[in-house]
Amino acid sequence: MSNSMNSQTSPSSQASQNHSPSAELFFRTANAYQQTAALKGAVELDIFTAIGQGKQTAVEIAKGCQASERGVRILCDYLCVLGFLTKEDERYNLTLDTATFLNRNSPAYMGGTLDFLLSPHLTEGFTDVAALVRHGGSLQPSGASLAPEHPMWVKFARAMMPMMAMPSQLIAQLVAGDSTQPMRVLDVAAGHGLFGIAFAKLNPNAQIVAQDWQNVLEVAKENAHAAGVSDRYSTVPGNAFEVDFGVDYDVVLLTNFLHHFDSGTCEQLLKKVHTALADSGRAITLEFIPNQDRISPPVPAMFTMMMLGTTPSGDTYTFVELERMFGNAGFKHSEFHPLPPSPQQVVISYK
């Protein structure tokens, strides 16, 4: 038996025999800054929009974008390698995703989100990841992105609306459905305000209260006015942990907020939310929620790095962790809801 076992090849040994070592991942990751720069440049030049308008050769695209033919050819070939474009017989075409999110003429255009995602407020937090890891959190001064009235949140509110338009509508439909019953909704850290506004647009009897810093709430109020719901939209400026929310809300929205804090701080806020809800009320959480292994799915799992670089103690939380936090705050039970095609998920917690 022992001789037979010793003669067997382990799975790891078999893998090394079947696959030669490759430095491809190393070089691809070391040069990944070029991918970001290429995407940013393509958006600035309106490469994707030009192709969407029928300009398909390097000559046509270059003329439409007022750029050099050589530069356009190299950039478009690179974008093909990345998966943003396809190429056949020297003609470039948009993929479905690119046509949907990067053609400026698409209603789902998200190119503007780069104004926030690539802003110095975020990118400067990752100039020394080794130091981040040693420290265990952001090295930026004054609480990083959590500093009072931080200007980055105004940029966030204006830039990220296209990315949140679909999730806001999906959540309103999931929670409110076709109800026209009177409903009081508190939108915590409302930002652009789209989540509360979606409830107001879906239900003509919904009253929305938006909480955030005063400078950010100006953006939310602009959007409420544009949506025609200003008469049912009020605001509570200030720190979410300090201001008086009020009581008897049917719904409290916690969208993309909990990940900025450690679990103890989250529970402190959730207790306050529990108090603000009516007896039959629900807290609605939108988050990047990784699986229990914390390395899948890719987008929620990788989002944790963003929190390491931009917050003192923020994190992504699994559903089990969120369920525990809500339970400790007094909620009876929580439900997990995928939100396709968004990479984020929803947790509905019942008072």
For 309-336, what is each residue's pLDDT tens digit? 989 999 999 999 999 999 999 999 999 9
Fold of 131-350: Rossmann fold (3.40.50)
Residues of the chain with CATH 1.10.10.10: 11-109
Q: How many residues does the chain have?
A: 351
Which of 258, 251, 262 is closest to 287 using CA atoms?
Answer: 258
Mean pLDDT, the chain, rounded, equals 91
pLDDT at residue 254 in the model: 98
| Cα–Cα distance, 260 to 254 (Å, whole number) | 12
Summarised one tens digit per residue, pLDDT across range 42-84 is 999 999 999 999 999 999 999 999 999 999 999 999 999 999 9
pLDDT at residue 158 in the model: 80
DSSP 292-315: TTSS-SHHHHHHHHHHHHHSSS--
pLDDT at residue 17 in the model: 55
Summarised one tens digit per residue, pLDDT across range 89-106 is 999 999 999 999 999 999
Cα dihedral sign, 83-87-91-95: negative
Residues of the chain with CATH 3.40.50.150: 131-350
pLDDT at residue 140 in the model: 79
Fold of 11-109: Arc Repressor Mutant, subunit A (1.10.10)
Position 5 confidence tier, pLDDT thresholds 50, 70, 90: very low
DSSP 263-278: HHHHHHHHHHHHHHEE
Q: Is the pLDDT of residue 122 over 90?
A: no
Summarised one tens digit per residue, pLDDT across range 170-194 is 999 999 998 899 999 999 999 999 9
Summarised one tens digit per residue, pLDDT across range 206-231 is 999 999 999 999 999 999 999 999 99
Helix residue ranges, H only, 177-262? 194-202, 214-226
